[in-house]
A and B are shown apart, each in its own frame.
Chain A
Amino acid sequence: MEMMDYGNGLNPTWCKGCGHFSVLRSLQTAAARMNIPREMLAVVSGIGCSGRISGYMNAYSFHSVHGRSLPVAQGIKLANPELTVVAAGGDGDGFAIGTSHTVHAIRRNINMTYIVMNNQVYGLTKGHVSPVSHQGFKTKTTPEGAVDMPVDPGLLALGSGVSFYAQGFSAQQDELIELIKKAIEHPGFSLVQVFSPCVTYNKVNTYQWFREHLKSVEDIRNTDSSDYIGAVELLKETKGLCTGVIFQNKEKKCYEELHQETKESNLVKETPQISEELFQQLTKKFSL
């Protein structure tokens, strides 16, 4: 399979230069490298410029509502565990309106992937402050500059017990492809946060700015990715500005392993017939 096989011929409505293009290409390329049959791939997105990503995939794609890509995606995966399920959305989607879903999806550790396209601004609503915008960031709703402290996506994820956490950058597509591939391969919930610049509404955190500030985890890490404290320190030291696999816990059992029922139970294929014996068993507590 080729990257192009995962496209549906539509031209994205994104601004020229938007970081989200690269995320789309990376997801398509990762799927191609992994040879995921298109019908076995479900891409669920939220609302935002980022949320449009599902609409450009040749897959079973689901453009849901603002902040809800994760619950929808988990529902799909639980119903049909044979599918490869990828949720995707913006930083507003994942760390404002959908924060609780992010935390609880991490806790549940269902075998799926979540890509957050972080541009530190609300693109679709034309430039409002985001929960990851830096203090002082001026937008139409924060003309004096943002006062609220930004959320730290990496620490939030680690604090919630994430089993795979990586960060990528739209301008480093080769790395991003590999990160998405590793995330999908990870048996459990994997979160990939992508620095995906908004060229129209964020004039601070630009491609150039990220080039100057981002460090590669490979260059600075002196522990391996399974070291939790090491991962926390790495994020602290770099103020979160690093790319690579920050943390991976391969030992942690995912939902599918813990709830053994899910292994064979594809809820879609199961026949609903109940035997008389089973019916008696189910209604025993009502019998007199």
Chain B
Amino acid sequence: MEKFTMLIGGIQGEGVVSTGISLMKALSRKGYYTLCERKFSSRIKGGNTHIIITVSEEEVTCVESTYHVIMAMDQESIDLNFHQLRQDGILFYDQELQVSENLSGNKKVIPLPITETAKDQGKSFMKNTSVIGFLGKMTGFAYDELEEIIKNAYGKKGQETLTQNLAVLKVAYNNDSFDSTMAPSFQHKKGKAKMMMMGNEAIALGAVMAGCRFMAGYPITPASDIMENLALYFPQIGGKTVQTEDEVAAIAMTVGASHAGARSMTATSGPGMTLMGEGLGLAGMIETPIVVVDAQRAGPSTGMPTKTEQSDLSFLYYAGHGEYSSIILSPSTVTECYEMTVEAFNLADQYQCPVIILTDLNLSLSPQTIDAIPFENPPIQRGLFASETFLSSYKDGGFPRYKITENGLSERALPGIPGGQHQVTGLEHNELGRPSDNPDNRKKMMKKRMLKTEPLKNRNEIIVEDQLNGKTLFMAYGSVYGVLKEASKRSESDVDIARIRQIKPLPVDQIKKLMAQYDSIVVVEENFNGQLAQIIRQETDRTSDIVSLTRYDGNNFTIEEILDEMERWCK
């Protein structure tokens, strides 16, 4: 089967998204991979919302921009999306809607009794169950399989609700508006073990497996799910989440908890990140490990809260006043969100500095089918701690928390451990942690803090996919990478693609090697300035062969857009 893409749209609060997710789960059980994008207006109830789902036998890395099917429960879903319907596509719409005659072309337009079936068999708000009936049949499900889905969803909501929903389902399923030629034939089979997850959920799970037990945060789209998930997990495993008064407090509390020895994190988006600059600098100065997630959305200021963008990078690369080491990791897939969160905690502890996990709205919030994350307690590296015997030799605050060492890393002593008493301060300090503005000391301490992450520059954190040895390399991170991947599969050009997993410290050696290998590197990112390209140019001292391809309208690049660019670069 080729990839198949459907859009379900309706009024926010009518269960549009949950309907889509139920279908995705059902399809994933049958061996398919799915990925969706959710579009919502900032209103909670009443605005239009739609979910676009791409289904395939192979892993899906981005949703397609043209649809095979639109299932419209409201007028706006048609107005906003009809032009994206493929020429051979079908618009199904609730027959209650007044659909204008002149919806053009060969596109099939078929009214369905969505509301009517719901009203006749149950209640009008059971529209989403009608939709499951119609779409479930189209995607090859047997009736009893759909019945299972409805039982799972409504089994706990009382007998009457369940009975009515089942009645709605049955009538919708038996509606004969479909015939088998309308959709590709879905061949259900049992595939690998799978999960349905989005980036934020993978980060929360990764944090738990990494031993994170403290999270302080302030709600913000698209990062809140991380705190919400941890708030569910921690009571089961012994950990704490705090919803603070603001992001300034969130990061300061995270620093405090980490200073005391708990693996700690916070998560936010651009507006909160701006407030967290202070805490990042504090953690940098006192060399306290913290993990901060920035799920980027369109800025500046409040920007477009429900739209994706990758425009915080420049700010984070240099975040805060003064200079200190920090690490920026940039996952591109949900699985990487999981793995790299574990890595983030290990790096934070080993290098005693802030680690930022940089995602974007689409990666953070798009539920998708992934190969199941296997059970495994990942290796934990907690970095340097002074031994208790060593500490017992110190009586009166003589423990050198900031001892100058060759690699810039010194041992920590956690509050509660006898002999380890010391001061930490955001002021420049000496080896004992005591304030000092002595120029020699300042130089030593700056070098200690600035150079300690230097070895990370040698990591090969740029992953080049299936090399074709072309002359051009397209590079991205986050949800943009998924688009590159799909485009490169379809492209007949010999353009290679890569994702970058660590932006700071930038893997400079590796990039220089790639520059020698390719004529041009096209950095594809969602912001105005081409921020990643700028950073690469600056760090490598090369300008001519780094090209920037940007989009900043709040939407992901489309596959077609990238395909065109690839063809262009191949000539």
- List A residues at the B interface (Cβ < 8 Å): 8-10, 37-40, 42, 44, 47, 54-55, 57-65, 68, 70-80, 82-83, 100-101, 103-104, 108, 259, 261-262, 264-265, 267-268, 270, 272-274, 276, 278-283, 286-288
CB contacts (< 8 Å) of A104 on chain B: these are 244-245, 249
Question: How far apart are the CA atoms of A273 and B379 in the complex, in Å?
Answer: 10
CB contacts (< 8 Å) of A282 on chain B: these are 205, 208, 233, 236-237
Supposing A64-B282, A274-B208 touch, asked if A287 and B195 sit within 8 A by C-beta, the answer is yes
CB contacts (< 8 Å) of A280 on chain B: these are 375
Q: For A80, give the chain B residue with the smallest CB separation.
A: B260
B419–A39 touching, CB < 8 Å: yes
A78–B240 touching, CB < 8 Å: yes
B25–A288 touching, CB < 8 Å: yes
Question: How far apart are the CA atoms of A280 and B208 in the complex, in Å?
Answer: 13
8 A Cβ contacts from B507-532 to A:
none
Q: For B29, give the chain A residue with the smallest CB separation.
A: A288
A268–B216 touching, CB < 8 Å: no
A79–B256 touching, CB < 8 Å: yes
CB contacts (< 8 Å) of B182 on chain A: these are none
Supposing A39-B420, A262-B240, A272-B211 touch, asked if A60 and B415 sit within 8 A by C-beta, the answer is yes
CB contacts (< 8 Å) of B255 on chain A: these are 64, 72, 75
- Contacts A39-B419, A58-B421 aside, 12 further interface pairs with beta carbons under 8 A come to A8-B396, A60-B415, A61-B423, A65-B282, A71-B250, A72-B255, A75-B216, A76-B259, A83-B416, A267-B260, A279-B209, A288-B28
Supposing A39-B416, A261-B240, A267-B262 touch, asked if A75 and B256 sit within 8 A by C-beta, the answer is yes
CB contacts (< 8 Å) of A286 on chain B: these are 195-197, 201, 205
B424–A61 touching, CB < 8 Å: yes
Question: How far apart are the CA atoms of A75 and B375 in the complex, in Å?
Answer: 30
Question: How far apart are the CA atoms of A278 and B194 in the complex, in Å?
Answer: 18
A55–B418 touching, CB < 8 Å: no
CB contacts (< 8 Å) of A264 on chain B: these are 238
- Report the 6 A-B pairs with minimum CB-CB distance, sorted nearest first: A75-B256, A272-B211, A268-B261, A63-B425, A71-B252, A79-B260
Interface string of B313-332 (1 = CB under 8 A from A): 00000000000000000000
Question: How far apart are the CA atoms of A80 and B380 in the complex, in Å?
Answer: 20
B254 contacts A by Cβ under 8 Å: yes
B252–A64 touching, CB < 8 Å: yes
B309 CB to closest chain A CB (Å) equals 27
Question: How far apart are the CA atoms of A7 and B525 in the complex, in Å?
Answer: 55
A272–B380 touching, CB < 8 Å: yes
Supposing A83-B260, A282-B208 touch, asked if A72 and B253 sit within 8 A by C-beta, the answer is yes
Residue contacts A-B, CB under 8 angstroms, 28 given = A9-B397, A37-B418, A39-B417, A39-B418, A42-B260, A44-B256, A58-B396, A60-B416, A61-B421, A62-B259, A68-B248, A68-B278, A68-B279, A71-B248, A74-B242, A75-B254, A75-B255, A76-B415, A78-B240, A82-B416, A267-B214, A267-B257, A273-B377, A274-B209, A278-B237, A279-B375, A283-B205, A288-B29
A1 CB to closest chain B CB (Å) equals 13
| Chain B binding surface, main DSSP class | mixed
Question: How far apart are the CA atoms of A57 and B422 in the complex, in Å?
Answer: 9
Supposing A39-B420, A55-B434, A76-B257 touch, asked if A63 and B427 sit within 8 A by C-beta, the answer is yes
Interface string of B18-30 (1 = CB under 8 A from A): 0000000100110
A100–B205 touching, CB < 8 Å: no
CB contacts (< 8 Å) of A65 on chain B: these are 252, 278, 282, 426
B264–A62 touching, CB < 8 Å: no
Supposing A61-B424, A64-B282 touch, asked if A101 and B245 sit within 8 A by C-beta, the answer is yes
B414 contacts A by Cβ under 8 Å: yes
B259 CB to closest chain A CB (Å) equals 6
A272–B28 touching, CB < 8 Å: no
A71 touches which of B197, B249, B434 (Cβ 8 Å)? B249
CB contacts (< 8 Å) of B452 on chain A: these are none
A130 CB to closest chain B CB (Å) equals 20
B211–A10 touching, CB < 8 Å: no
Task: Identify which of A38, A75, A287 gathers the most chain B CB atoms within 10 Å of its CB.
Answer: A75
Question: How far apart are the CA atoms of A54 and B237 in the complex, in Å?
Answer: 34
Interface string of B207-248 (1 = CB under 8 A from A): 011110110100000000000000001111111101011101
B434–A283 touching, CB < 8 Å: no
Interface string of B352-374 (1 = CB under 8 A from A): 00000000000000000000110
B416–A268 touching, CB < 8 Å: yes
CB contacts (< 8 Å) of B201 on chain A: these are 286
A276–B375 touching, CB < 8 Å: yes
CB contacts (< 8 Å) of A74 on chain B: these are 242, 253, 256
B249–A68 touching, CB < 8 Å: yes
B424–A63 touching, CB < 8 Å: yes
CB contacts (< 8 Å) of B254 on chain A: these are 75
CB contacts (< 8 Å) of A262 on chain B: these are 240
8 A Cβ contacts from B380-428 to A:
380, 396-397, 414-427
B396–A9 touching, CB < 8 Å: yes
CB contacts (< 8 Å) of B278 on chain A: these are 65, 68
B421–A55 touching, CB < 8 Å: no
B501 contacts A by Cβ under 8 Å: no
A100 touches which of B197, B213, B242, B245 (Cβ 8 Å)? B245
A78–B396 touching, CB < 8 Å: no
B263 contacts A by Cβ under 8 Å: yes
Q: For B382, give the chain A residue with the smallest CB separation.
A: A272
Supposing A37-B418, A78-B214 touch, asked if A64 and B426 sit within 8 A by C-beta, the answer is yes
B421–A38 touching, CB < 8 Å: yes
B258 CB to closest chain A CB (Å) equals 8
